[in-house]
Amino acid sequence: MSSADKILYSETVYVVGVSWRENLPYLNVVLGDQIERFHVPAAGLRMSFKVDEQKARRCLGYAQRSHENITYMACKNVPELGRLCASCNQADRIQSANRHQAHHRDMALMDPSIKQYLEHPHRLYVAIFRDGSAKVGTTRGAHGGQRLIEQGAWFACYVALAKNGFEIR
């Protein structure tokens, strides 16, 4: 049974993100009070929704990156403000800060999961948006990937490849 078959019209569905695989869009959803994420093909998907004022908002959790993969840490807490509860927000910010400031830190003192994540090849990219703003970013992986598509930019391109995330920063 595909993940799309698991969505019932009467149950609560939390859309927690959009991802791309092989240039096709997928909705990342959590059903009801579960914590497992499903990836539902979104190309041509007809959707309608109703906002239920009686349902509490739900924390989206955060992504924990490691050498092997990205694990989504699910959460059922209600965020006071924004998309994440206080503990997930703190975990997400710590992970982001450790990744983006890795070139300033002593590798011996770095969290092992961050260090392993950064040991993979990384790319540097530039993305330009319709409002004229630009972003310079990094992404893991030497072979394509969907990061440029995920940016939703008007124009984007890779400009450098490094053997690891420490060098690219």
Determine the pLDDT at residue 60.
83
Residue 133 CA to chain centroid, in angstroms? 21
For the chain, how far is it from start to end, CA to CA, in angstroms? Answer: 43
User: Does residue 135 sit in helix, strand or coil?
Assistant: strand
Determine the pLDDT at residue 89.
84
- Please give the Cα distance from 168 to 161 (Å, whole number): 7
Length in residues, the chain: 169
The ranges of the chain with pLDDT < 70 are: 1-10, 66-68, 94, 97-100, 102-104, 142-145
pLDDT tens by residue, 35-53: 788 888 998 888 777 777 7
Residue 147 CA to chain centroid, in angstroms? 10
Determine the pLDDT at residue 1.
41
Determine the pLDDT at residue 131.
92
Number of H helices, E strands in the chain: 4, 8
pTM of the entire structure? 0.57
Contacts of 154 (CB under 8 A, 6+ apart): 128, 129, 130
- Please give the Cα distance from 93 to 86 (Å, whole number): 11
